[in-house]
Amino acid sequence: MKIGIAQINAIVGDFPGNAKRILAAYRECIEKGAELVVTPEMALVGYPPMDLLFRASFVPKCLQALDYLADEIKDIPLVVGYVDKCPEEAVGKPFRNAAAFLCNGQIKHKTWKTLLPAYDVFDERRYFEPGNSFEPIEWKGVKIGITICEDIWTEDYLHRPLYKDDPALELSKQGIDLMLNLSASPYSMGKPEGRAAMLRKVAQEINAPLVYCNCIGGNDQLIFDGNSAAFDAEGLPLGSLAAFKEECLVINTSLKGDESHKLKPMDSAEECYNALVLGLRDYAQKCGFSKACLGLSGGIDSALTAVIAAEALGAENVHGLTMPSEYSSSGSVDHSIELANKLKMRCDSVPIKDAFRSVKAAMSPVFGDLPEDLTEENMQARIRGLFLMSLSNKTGRLLLTTGNKSELAVGYCTMYGDMCGGLAVISDLPKLQVYALSRWINRNEEIIPWDTIDKPPSAELRHDQKDQDTLPPYEVLDAILELYVEKHLSGAEIIKDHGFDENLVRWIQRRVNLNEWKRFQAAPGLRVSSKAFGMGRRMPLAQRFSD
Amino acid sequence: MKIGIAQINAIVGDFPGNAKRILAAYRECIEKGAELVVTPEMALVGYPPMDLLFRASFVPKCLQALDYLADEIKDIPLVVGYVDKCPEEAVGKPFRNAAAFLCNGQIKHKTWKTLLPAYDVFDERRYFEPGNSFEPIEWKGVKIGITICEDIWTEDYLHRPLYKDDPALELSKQGIDLMLNLSASPYSMGKPEGRAAMLRKVAQEINAPLVYCNCIGGNDQLIFDGNSAAFDAEGLPLGSLAAFKEECLVINTSLKGDESHKLKPMDSAEECYNALVLGLRDYAQKCGFSKACLGLSGGIDSALTAVIAAEALGAENVHGLTMPSEYSSSGSVDHSIELANKLKMRCDSVPIKDAFRSVKAAMSPVFGDLPEDLTEENMQARIRGLFLMSLSNKTGRLLLTTGNKSELAVGYCTMYGDMCGGLAVISDLPKLQVYALSRWINRNEEIIPWDTIDKPPSAELRHDQKDQDTLPPYEVLDAILELYVEKHLSGAEIIKDHGFDENLVRWIQRRVNLNEWKRFQAAPGLRVSSKAFGMGRRMPLAQRFSD
């Protein structure tokens, strides 16, 4: 059977727009010869709609849009992801994560998602009642199993066996000729390859061709990478779709697959860069921004963020401010201007000296003879935040924050200072990955000044300050943070099993825990790791656990 | 049987401290004649522990603490709430929300919570596997049913029938003599009375005495009100415990109840005030702050916040700043000083004029001849935020934000300006409730200057500005917001069924939706309504739903 895979970029809650996108892709697939077309999970809704689902008219509007779609579908079926309503009198959650089989102007069949993830960034048990029947549908003599995302994720790829049901197995027992999977599977580094390996294995296990349709696009913190694909009954690839781009592809599941159709793995830096560009572009566009601004410190974090922004929005739409203080090195301005020139983006220099002096003077009657301390460092960062927000307000630009994951972990950043902004572009990249990505950007020519990459990192908030006056070397910091934040190991285990210095580990733990309140108020950050700060990590603030 | 109810205030993750609190309460109950003692849900852990549960050593440390507790318990049993681990090989979530029956140095019995809430502020499906057996335990000839919180919440008190199981019914079918319920039920306005009515009904339905032990204390956004209680088999009250206070009470469940033991309902303003005082005090203490600061604008929001802070922390520990600008009325300083004098708290005046001039001057080469607009209003609010944060930094004080729910809903507040702070004290109070609470505070004497209450509200960010230049009257705004934000009605329904002006409703809807990004970065706010902004309301930012 020739299946059209409609790898589209939906906008959450935009029912008319999403219906249009789906129909356009459906028609493109038909032109390419499709006999059936499949969309991603919740293609009509956008993923994740979160508590919009509870708005009284949200799901009714979704169902109207589904009816509209059904009217447009003739004899070539469309299998589309949407949200359905449970009967009023039913016990349990009010909604279903659903797929509809549309044909000849009708909704011929509905399928419910059975396995509802409730971990990391997923909250599907908050909204949905699980499905519990596993019936293939027959179309032109072909028995088709329809599953939604998690329904085919096997234990090997989850942390532990999470579910009692196995929808893929139940369907395959009934002798299906073809399995469709509608998915909204967010990106993390390395996931495209791991996912492809799993899909291959699923096709082998169910002994039937598998057509997997993932969505693409950035929705707030989540970036969906696409990478839809199809496999024959032996797990050989029948075709792969683009990463980080909309695409429609028709695949004949009656053919035999071969390795030439395999997903082409990207260089990990390239993959991550593409993810961030898409995440930023979509966040801006879907929120209605065409322009952005950011502070350029002359350091590597803001340089990388500027490059990503210029790629995502066009350099002419990105406006940088360099905001030197009395503690700034000459490099901080020079490197910023050099970068801006390379990128052809605007950069203005706005010194903070006078404002800093005014603020200190205003507060001095209150502070009396208390000595200068971290307060004055934070003041400078906050004056910069104030300047940037005023540029954002005055010119309608999205302000980007430029902090990295290592800083955010230990709170080496100023609340309402450098943390100001609507989107944190690289807040899920540990500092070492910031370096790696910056070097990859410079692989052919110098875009980020090499001096920026090579100089010792500094916040430049006091005389001759260096990050490493306060923080351990990033090689050590990032390694400990991975064990503590991503792997959840206790301090005792990190010290004992991994041989890191006790005082250092304890210091990092304390910093991570004490700075939970900063992350609570941080801008949404693009998620590119399997454990980002943000919606997938929910920590109490007032707590006293120590490990 | 004489049951000791240990209504304690646990700190999340503080296993040694919580064990100590539990043992002290246990011993107090024994001294008062208890034959069995019961604690709140997760008393050993603190509720909610959120993703701390995933830290590798968190649940193991909880189980160690449970063993320690068991060792301390002799022949008078303790029924204590904790978190248990599922067997490694078990399918599903790794943990159980559990109660242990401790006696004679042993864990005699374990009960799992069956009904796991996954709505509003609750995420229990993220962590816990539900229980599915309903066995009473027998102690000295008394058949006792043990349930945890949601297990006895009946359909009438939930929005819809959520669960297939009914643990209270299953247990009562087996002829129990007594039902215990360990609870962590957060406060919202009016809930104590509604909850007591439900408990009475449950006792009647199971036809057995019901002993209900709720926790008290503030944990981040949630405030637990206590109000533990017991009822005889006919639903007559056997006793009630304090609201918003730790208490131990022993109740003889063999007696007949009578209405004199009924929960004494508080005046709604008093109830809300007590909740906010507890919420603020606990957030500060549990985070390690003994002192706070805030901006005093001369308006009612900051005045109310100051009163609550002075009550919670002692006036001597609260430091206010009044920060007049060229647009400030004389009242803004005078009323702030008058209030501070009444409360006996420190208040300094720090004019923002010079800093405002410096910031404008610094940005003027970038802005060129663009006219003044909202940017300059925000600048002033941000300079104030900067001053306040510097006071917080310099003196180690928790900065309190003073915005109300109506403002936060429509974004009538400045990000990184008046939104700066570690805790939003009244962010769940609509403006009309701010007035009501302020009048209640002044019921016996003038604490908040009547001029502050009576004058038209103003942000004073431009000449002769009034809230009502931008916003509709608060009577109308609050009514529409309740329908839109709390009841989830669509704009169309609010216009058609409730008769509000179309343009106004559309304007409010737009403002609410456009300002989701501000609420995303807002300080945690104390929850006193059944639908607060914050953890119980999770909205996407980049979305296009319109209703």
Q: Report all structural domains of chain B as residue ranges with CATH numbers, in order of start.
A: 2-258 (3.60.110.10), 272-471+516-520 (3.40.50.620)
pLDDT band at B154 (very low <50, low <70, confident <90, very high): confident
* pLDDT tens digit sequence for A234-291: 999 999 999 999 999 999 999 999 999 999 889 999 999 999 999 999 999 999 999 9
pLDDT score of B184: 98
Nearest residue of chain A to residue B390 (CA atoms): A375
Q: Would you call A191 a catalytic residue per the annotation?
A: no
Q: What is the DSSP letter of A523?
A: P
Q: Which residues of chain B does A11 touch, with a Cβ-Cβ cutoff of 8 Å?
A: 542-544
A524 CB within 8 Å of a chain B CB: yes
* A 407-426: CB under 8 A from B: 415-416, 420, 422
Cross-chain CB nearest to B545 (options A58, A367, A537): A58
Considering A29, A62, A149, A293, which one is annotated as catalytic? A149
pLDDT computed for residue B159 by the predictor: 67
Instruction: Give residue B492's pLDDT.
Output: 94
Is the pLDDT confidence value at B461 over 90?
no
Q: What is the 3-state secondary structure (H, E, C) of B375-444?
A: HHHHHHHHHHHHHHHHHHHHHCCEEEECCCHHHHHHCCCCCCCCCCCCEECCCCCCHHHHHHHHHHHCCC
Residues 145-174 of A with CB under 8 A from B: 160-164
Burial code (b: 16+ CB inside 10 Å, e: under 16) for A338-365 equals bbbebbebebbbbbbbbbbebbbebbee
Q: Does B156 score more than 90 pLDDT?
A: no
Question: What value of ipTM does the predicted structure carry?
Answer: 0.96
The pLDDT value recorded for residue B243 is 98
Cβ contacts (< 8 Å) between B391 and chain A: which residues? 363, 366
Residue B162 distance to chain A (closest CA, Å):
4
CA–CA separation, A57 and B487 (whole Å):
12
d(C-alpha A101, C-alpha B436), whole Å:
55
Query: Is the predicted pLDDT of residue B300 greater than 80, yes or no?
Result: yes
Residues of B (222-281) whose Cβ lies below 8 Å from A: none
With a CB cutoff of 8 Å and minimum separation 6, the contacts of B88 are none
Mean pLDDT, residues A59-82 taken together = 98
- Angstrom distance (rounded) from CA A368 to CA A447: 47
Interchain pair B521, A517: CB under 8 A: no
- Matching residue, tokens 């296993």: B15
Percent of chain A with pLDDT over 90: 92
CA–CA separation, A45 and A65 (whole Å): 9
Report which secondary-structure segment, H or E, holds B69: helix B58-72
Q: How does pLDDT run across A115-124, given as a tens digit for each residue?
A: 999 999 999 9
Residue A29 is encoded by which pair of tokens? 């697939």
Please answer yes or no on whether A545 and B55 come within 8 Å at the CB atom: yes
Closest-CA distance, A367 to chain B, in angstroms, reads: 8
| More confident call, B171 vs B161 | B171
Residue of A nearest to B382 (CA): A386
Chain A, window 173-192: residues with a beta carbon less than 8 angstroms from a chain B beta carbon: none
A460 has a pLDDT exceeding 90: no
Residue B37 Cα, gap to closest chain A Cα (Å): 26
Catalytic site includes residue B247: no
Q: Tell me which chain A residues have a C-beta less than 8 angstroms from the C-beta of B359.
A: 355, 358, 383, 386-387, 390
Residue B374 to chain A, least CA–CA distance (Å): 7
Task: Verify whether the Cβ–Cβ distance A543 to B359 is below 8 Å.
Answer: no
SS3 assignment, position B112: strand
pLDDT tens digits, one per residue of A355-381: 999 999 999 999 999 999 999 999 999
Residues B279-288, mean pLDDT to the nearest whole number: 98
Residues of B in contact with A123 (CB under 8 A): 118, 123, 126, 538
Task: For residues A9-27, give the mean pLDDT.
Answer: 98
Residue tagged 């906010």 (tokens): B276
Cβ–Cβ below 8 Å for A378 and B361: no
At B375 the pLDDT is: 98
How does pLDDT run across A462-503, given as a tens digit for each residue? 888 888 888 999 999 999 999 999 999 999 999 999 999 999
- Model-wide pTM > 0.95: yes
Q: How far is B388 from chain A (nearest CA, A)?
A: 9
* Pairwise CB contact (< 8 Å): B355 & A362: yes
Give the A:B interface size as CB pairs under 8 Å.
293
| Site from A42, A57, A364, A373 to mutate, B interface, most B CB atoms within 10 angstroms | A57
What is the C-alpha to C-alpha distance for residues A496 and A493, in angstroms, rounded to an integer? Answer: 5
Residues 6+ apart with CB under 8 A from A426: A276, A301, A304, A305, A308, A402, A403, A404, A405, A434, A526
Cβ–Cβ gap B350/A358 under 8 Å: no
- Nearest chain B CA: its distance from A289 CA (Å): 11
Confidence tier at A157 by pLDDT (50, 70, 90)? low
Give residue B119's pLDDT: 95
Q: What is the arithmetic mean of pLDDT over B188-215?
A: 96
Distance from CA of B96 to the nearest CA of A (A): 14
- For residues A210-219, average pLDDT: 98
Tell me what percent of the residues of chain B surpass a pLDDT of 70: 99
Which of A12, A352, A539 lies nearest to residue B543, judging by beta carbons? Answer: A12
Please check whether residue A384 touches B, CB under 8 A: no
The reply to whether B46 touches chain A by the CB within 8 Å rule is yes
Burial of A221 (0-12, 13-18, 19+ CB in 10 A): buried
Note the pLDDT of residue A159: 67
Percentage above 70 pLDDT, chain A: 99
Quote the mean pLDDT of chain B.
Answer: 96
Point out the catalytic residue in the list B29, B62, B149, B215: B149
DSSP letters spanning A174-212: T--SEEEEEE--B--TTHHHHHHHHHHHHHHHHTS-EEE
Residue A178, token pair as written in the block: 């073809």
Q: What's the helix, strand, coil split of chain A in %, to 5? A: 40, 20, 40
Nearest-10 Cα torsion for B118, B119, B123, B126: 40
Which of B41, B129, B170, B338 is an active site residue?
Answer: B41
Q: Look at residue A6 and tell me whether its pLDDT is greater than 70.
A: yes
pLDDT at B305 over 90: yes
Identify which of A14, A160, A359 has the shortest CB distance to residue B544. Answer: A14
B113 is catalytic: yes
Please name the residue of chain B whose CA is at the shortest distance from the CA of residue A281: B542
Alpha-carbon distance A266 to nearest alpha carbon in chain B (angstroms): 28
Q: Which of A29, A35, A41, A191 is catalytic?
A: A41
Residue of A nearest to B47 (CA): A540
Contact A545 B283 (CB under 8 A): no
Confidence bin at A529 (pLDDT 50/70/90): very high
CA angle B25, B26, B27 (to 5 degrees): 90
- Confidence category of residue B157, pLDDT binned at 50, 70, 90: low
Chain A neighbors of B542, CB-CB under 8 A? 11-12, 218-220, 282-283, 286-287
Residue B268 has pLDDT above 80, yes or no: yes
Residue A360: both structure tokens together: 């200190």
Please name the residue that has the structure tokens 């360099």.
Answer: A322
Number of H helices, E strands in chain B: 17, 19
